[in-house]
Structure 1
Amino acid sequence: MSSTEDQVKLEKVNNKIISEFSKTLEMFSLNKSEAQLFVTLYLHEAPMTLDQMKDALGKSKTAMSYAIRRLQEFNLVERVWQKGVRKDLYEAREDLYKKFMKTYVNRWLESLNLQINNLADIQDDLDNYPNEQKQLIEHKIHEAISFHRSLEQVFSKIKKNDFL
């Protein structure tokens, strides 16, 4: 088998890995481009420039720039320095499981807290409703808040465990 054939086979395997691993990462609220970029950086043996990312994924430099900023916000990639390289270089951070779980759990907790507060605000505004409607709506809001608090307890326990 020629080295060109070997390279084509290797590229197909890499594309499959990127595709499958990206699907998992999309469950953590990354969009498809962000997930594909993270997996590409994770699999790549050396830090990459935006131009290298663009070429590897066949996307625009603007799309790569946006995706890399989002990945930095999630603390999943970091900018690194290499002597003699003038362009910014990025690489995936280590401790993949812990980084994702910490980010995921914190996002859930923030979202749950916001939803609980929003539901409580709605409940406070129920004074303008007739009494029988008000009681039904208050009951439904109370159930929704209880549901969110239950989820909040689960994610808080996960956060306190050694997983993170």
Structure 2
Amino acid sequence: MTDQNANDPFEKVNNQIISEFSKTLEMFSLNKTEAQLLITLYLNEGPMTLDEMKEGLGKSKTAMSYAIRRLLELNLVKRVWQKGIRKDLYEVREDLYKKFMKTYVNRRLESLNRQINNLTDIKVQLDNSNHNQKASIENKVDEAISFHRSLEEVFDKIKKDDFL
């Protein structure tokens, strides 16, 4: 945002949308700059160059270049071509909701799987010990594993539904 647009009511609302929506996107493991850039591209009516992104967000070209590369890697944006324009142009891909939900669910499943494996390893260590509270602790570990498996079932169901 340039200084001359600072008092423009539309520009203020646009900045509020970017700020609030980017907070949501940060839950999906995007950093603040990546989230703001994605929302800027989403709100823009056409593809943007790195210079336009830099100008729109008031960030360095290096920051925009890094963020756009990350968004490309995540398959959230794509490079497009327009006749007569020599600079790279970028725009948001379609079906963002599905992409974000799929990424979110897959990350949760990976995390739950790691936690179940870690808890199972702990249980094996307990099985090999002779501690006087072994049975009580094993019971707690079993409950924790059961809890994580229940969560895993929920996320598996979401993943298998037409939702994603």
TM-score by length of 2: 0.83
* CA distance 1:15–1:133, change in 2 (3 Å): same
In the other structure, the counterpart of 1:29 is 29
List aligned pairs for 1:75-86, cutoff 5 A: 75-86=75-86
Matched, 1:121 2:121: yes
Separation in structure 2 between the aligned mates of residue 74 and residue 157 of structure 1, nearest angstrom: 24
Letter in 1 for 2:55: D
- List structure 1 runs of 4+ shifted beyond 6 angstroms: none
For structure 1, list consecutive stretches of 5 or more residues without a partner in the other structure. Answer: none
Separation in structure 1 between the aligned mates of residue 89 and residue 137 of structure 2, nearest angstrom: 54
For structure 2, list consecutive stretches of 5 or more residues without a partner in the other structure. Answer: none
Cα shift at 1:127:
5.4
Identity %: 76
In the other structure, the counterpart of 1:140 is 140
TM-score by length of 1: 0.83
Separation in structure 2 between the aligned mates of residue 29 and residue 58 of structure 1, nearest angstrom: 22
The worse-fitting range, judged by mean Cα deviation, of 91-100 and 118-127 is 118-127
Q: Is the 8 A contact 1:38 1:92 kept in 2?
A: yes
* CA distance 1:136–1:89, change in 2 (3 Å): farther
Cα shift at 1:23:
2.0
In the other structure, the counterpart of 1:72 is 72
Task: Look up the SS of the partner of 1:33 in the other structure.
Answer: helix
Q: Is the 8 A contact 1:54 1:64 kept in 2?
A: yes
Q: Note the alpha carbon deviations across 1:51-86, whole angstroms, 9 max, x for none.
A: 221221112222222322332333221222233333
Separation in structure 2 between the aligned mates of residue 97 and residue 117 of structure 1, nearest angstrom: 30
Task: Look up the SS of the partner of 2:83 in the other structure.
Answer: coil
Letter in 1 for 2:27: M
Cα shift at 1:49:
2.0
In the other structure, the counterpart of 1:163 is 163
Separation in structure 1 between the aligned mates of residue 152 and residue 96 of structure 2, nearest angstrom: 23
